[in-house]
Amino acid sequence: MRRRRVRMNKIVIIFACLSMLQKMAYAADALTPTSSINDGQELISAGQNFSLGFFTPGISKSRYVGIWYKNIMPQTVVWVANRDYPLNDSSGNLTIVAGNIVLFDGSGNRIWSTNSSRSSIQEPMAKLLDSGNLVLMDGKSSDSDSYIWQSFDYPTDTTLPGLKLGWDKTSGLNRYLTSWKSANDPSAGSFTYGFHHNEITEFVLRQGMKITFRSGIWDGTRLNSDDWIFNEITAFRPIISVTSTEALYWDEPGDRLSRFVMKDDGMLQRYIWDNKVLKWIEMYEARKDFCDDYGACGVNGICNIKDVPVYCDCLKGFKPKSQEEWNSFNRSGGCIRRTPLNCTQGDRFQKLSAIKLPKLLQFWTNNSMNLEECKVECLKNCSCTAYANSAMNEGPHGCFLWFGDLIDIRKLINEEAGQLDLYIKLAASEIESTANAIKRRKIALIISASLVALLLLCIILYLSKKYIKERTTTDLVAGNRNHNEHQASPLFHIDTILAATNNFSTANKIGEGGFGPVYRGKLADGQEIAVKRLSKTSKQGISEFMNEVGLVAKLQHRNLVSILGGCTQGDERMLVYEYMANSSLDHFIFDPTQRKFLNWRKRYEIIMGISRGLLYLHQDSKLTIIHRDLKTSNILLDSELNPKISDFGLAHIFEGDHSTVTTKRIVGTVGYMSPEYAANGLLSLKSDVFSFGVIVLEILSGIRNNNFYHSDHERNLLVQAWRLWKEGRAVEFMDANLDLATIRSELLRCLQVGLLCVQKLPKDRPTMSSVVFMLSNESITLAQPKKPEFIEEGLEFPGYSNNSMTITLLEARN
C-alpha cells in the first residue's frame, strides 16, 4: 500500500509539472490559425520588450487580455483588448478564426474580436512587435502594408513611440486615448484625449462632452502653446503632421522607454523609465497650472499665471459680467463689453501678444489672405470680434476670424512660444480712452513725484539735523504705507498685534535673531501668524525693513514665505508672516533626533522646493532678486514639511541689467557666502547658487558646514564632499539615517548637483533653471564638478559685516 501511495504521488506531481510546463511553454511572438494561448500563457515580442497575455488589474477579479512591458515591475499595462468585456474566470482562449483574432470564454462564447473585414487572406498571423504593437497580417509578408489590423489603431489609455494619434482620411480612423474607469477597471472611463479636427487642428481633453483642456491651435509649424518642454527631451521626439488627408501626432523612439498616459482622474502624464532606479519617472503633466484649465477665466477673460494670487483679468475694453462675483474671486462668469461695437463709426483693434489664441467656437478661416486683408474682412463684418494669422509656413499668412465671445485665452509663460498675435475689435472710444488713461497716469505720476520732492525739500530745510533724522524715518514709513497697501500687504494696528501675541508674552516667543524676537500669535479670525518684532537696537535699518515689506509683498510662490502685513507705530516696526508650524530646516537637519523624521523622499522634496523657490526669485518673478542670505535657518517648514524661503531684508533687486554688481557692504552668513562675494564683494545670481549648493550638501550629510571637522584634517564640508566624490566613496558622505541601498542613484545625483553649485568660479556654476532641470531629469549626463573653495569663519575682508538677519524659529509651543 505504501509503495502504491508513493507511486500515485509521483504521478500526480508529474501531471502537475506537465500542466505547468504546458502553460508556461508558449513564449512565441505570433499566433496562427493552428495555435492559441490560454490564461497563463503569453506571447513575447522577439526582442523581449513586451508581453501579451491575460491579467487582472488591481483588486479586480475579472480577467482581461492586454499588452505590458515584459521586464518591468510592477506590471505596466499599455493596451487592453476586451476592456469593456471582461472574463469572469481563467478559462479564456485567444486564437485566430476566419482571419480575425478572437477571444473566447470557457463556454466557447466570443468575447472580443478584431472584426476585420479583410478576412480572406490565406495565411493570417497575429504577431506582437517590439514596439508593443499587436498586428494581424498576411504571414507571407512582413511589410507593414500587409497589416490587416493593428492595436496601434485602437489605443486605450496609453501612447507608445510609433503609435499615431489623430485622424486619417484614407483609413477613416480617428485614434484617441480613453482613460480607464479606475485602477481596478480598464473599461472606458469619462476622459478622452486626441486631435480635434474640422478645419482647425488642436489637442483637446474632454470629460464626457465637456472640454477641460486644449493644447492651442496648430499654426502650420507648431502648437500655439508653451511647448518649450520638448526642447529638453531625449527620451522621445514628438512629430505632428497635418495635411489635407491627415492630422496625426506620434513620438519617435529616443534613448529611453517612454509612455504618455490618459489617467482615470483626468491627468495627462508623460513617463520615462529609469534603468538606474528601476522605476517610472514622471516628466511632466500636460496641464501645467490653473491657466491651462479650459475657460478658467470665463468668456472674454485672460489668465496670467504670473499675476498672483488672482490670475484672471478682463480683456481690455471689457468689464466683469458680475462685479459681485468678481470681487469675491469667482471669475469664471467672465466679462462683457464696456462699450458696444458700432460698425458705422469705425471700430478699432487692440493687439495681444504672447498668448494662447481663444477657442474657435464660431469662426471663419482663409489660408490665402495676409494679415491686412484679414483685418479688412473683420471690419466689414459687424459680428466679427477678433482676427489673427492662421498659419506660419514660410512667413505669416492666412486668416482666422472669431465671432461672438472669446474663451480660453492665457498669457504664455514662454513668451517666445507666442508667434501669433490676436487683434480684438473694440469701439473706437475704448481705444482712445485707454490711450488717454495712459497719458493721464503719466502726468499724474510726474505731478505727484514733483510734489513729493518739493515737500521733502521743505521738510529738510525747516527741521533741525536731529529732528530731520527722526522725521525722515517716519516719512519713509508713512510714504510707503499706501504702496504696501497697494501690494496687498496691510498695516496692522498695534492693538491687533498685542491681542494676537498676548502682549508679546514669553510663552508665545518662538525665536530670536539678529534683528529681534519672533512671536507666535493668533488673529481674531483664528489665523495663526508669526510676528517679527524688530528691536530698537536692531542692525536692520529702516531701508532693510521697508525693503522686506515691499519686496515680499510682491512675491507669491508656494516655496516662499508669505508676508501678511506690517506694523509701524511709534518706534515699533514689526513684520507679520504666515505661521510655519515646523520651524526651520536647521532645527530638523542638524538635530540627531529630529532628522530621523526626514527620510530621503522628504529631503528630496525639500531640495526641489528650495530650488523652485530660488528659480522664481532669479527668473520667474517680475523682479530679478538675489536673496544674499540663503541658509538652512532661512528655510522654514510648514505643517507638511514643505519648504519656504524666508527673510528678504538683505535681498538685492536687479531692475534691468542682470550682470554682476560690486558692493562694499558685504552682508550674509559665513559658510554660505560664495568666495567671490565674501572676498571681493562681487554679487550675482551665482552667489545664491553657491549658497543653495551648501544647503544641498548639508541636507545630504546632516552636518553643518561651519561645524565640520574630519580626522583627515578636513575643516571644510564642501572639500570633503568633493574628495569623497572623486575617490568613488561618496556614500560615506551621506547621513547614516538614509536608506542608501534603495535610493543610491538619486542621492549621488543630488550630491553631484550640489558640488556643481559650489564650484569656485561663478561661470562654472549652473543657473537655477539648469539646477531644477538636472534634479528633475535623471536621463541627462551631468558635468564633473571642480574643487570648491570655502571662506572660513574668522577671516577678515574689507567692508565685511556678518549681519545675519535670520530668525531661527524654535519648536512651536502648544
Neighbours of 697 (CB within 10 A): 25
Contact between 520 and 568 under an 8 Å Cβ cutoff? The reply is no
Contact between 561 and 603 under an 8 Å Cβ cutoff? The reply is no
Choose, from 347, 629, 647, 735, the residue flagged as catalytic. 629
Question: Mapping DSSP to helix (H, G, I), strand (E, B) and coil, where does residue 551 land?
Answer: helix
Neighbours of 573 (CB within 10 A): 25
Residues 6+ apart with CB under 8 A from 314: 300, 301, 302, 320, 335
Backbone dihedral angles phi then psi of residue 104, each to the nearest 5 degrees: -110, 150
- Please name which of 87, 96, 82, 81 lies closest in space to residue 36, comparing C-alpha atoms: 96
- Please name which of 635, 603, 790, 611 lies closest in space to residue 699, comparing C-alpha atoms: 603
Strands 165-168 and 246-253: antiparallel
> How many residues appear in the chain?
814
- Please name which of 398, 164, 132, 171 lies closest in space to residue 273, comparing C-alpha atoms: 132
Residues 6+ apart with CB under 8 A from 450: none
Q: How far apart are CA 771 and CA 774, in angstroms?
A: 5
- Please name which of 32, 171, 155, 175 lies closest in space to residue 101, comparing C-alpha atoms: 32
Angle between helices 740-757 and 600-615 (to 10 degrees): 30
- Residue 680 grid coordinates: 571681493
Alpha carbons within 13 A on the beta-carbon side of 554:
16
Contact between 178 and 251 under an 8 Å Cβ cutoff? The reply is no
- Residue 477 grid coordinates: 514709513
- Residue 396 grid coordinates: 505669416
- Residue 491 grid coordinates: 498695516
Q: Considering Cα of 48, then 52, then 57, then 61, what sign does the dihedral take?
A: negative
Q: How far apart are CA 421 and CA 356, in angstroms?
A: 9
Question: Mapping DSSP to helix (H, G, I), strand (E, B) and coil, where does residue 689 land?
Answer: helix
Contact between 515 and 532 under an 8 Å Cβ cutoff? The reply is yes
Strands 355-356 and 399-403: unpaired
DSSP string over 771-784: HHHHHH-TTSPPPP
Q: How far apart are CA 282 and CA 292, in angstroms?
A: 19
Backbone dihedral angles phi then psi of residue 582, each to the nearest 5 degrees: -110, 30
What is the spatial order of strands in the sheet that 93-97 belongs to? 36-38, 93-97, 100-104, 110-113
What separation in angstroms does the CA of 347 have from each of 168, 383, 395, 761? Answer: 42, 12, 28, 58
- Residue 464 grid coordinates: 533741525
Q: How far apart are CA 123 and CA 99, in angstroms?
A: 8
If you search the block for the grid coordinates 500687504, which residue do you land on? 489
Q: Is 629 a catalytic residue?
A: yes
- Residue 554 grid coordinates: 510682491
Backbone dihedral angles phi then psi of residue 325, each to the nearest 5 degrees: -65, -40
Q: How far apart are CA 652 and CA 671, in angstroms?
A: 19
Q: Considering Cα of 498, then 500, then 503, then 509, what sign does the dihedral take?
A: negative
Strand extents, DSSP E, 534-646: 563-569, 572-578, 624-626, 635-637, 643-645
Contact between 754 and 774 under an 8 Å Cβ cutoff? The reply is no
CA-based angle 703:704:710, to the nearest 5? 65
What is the set of active-site residues? 629
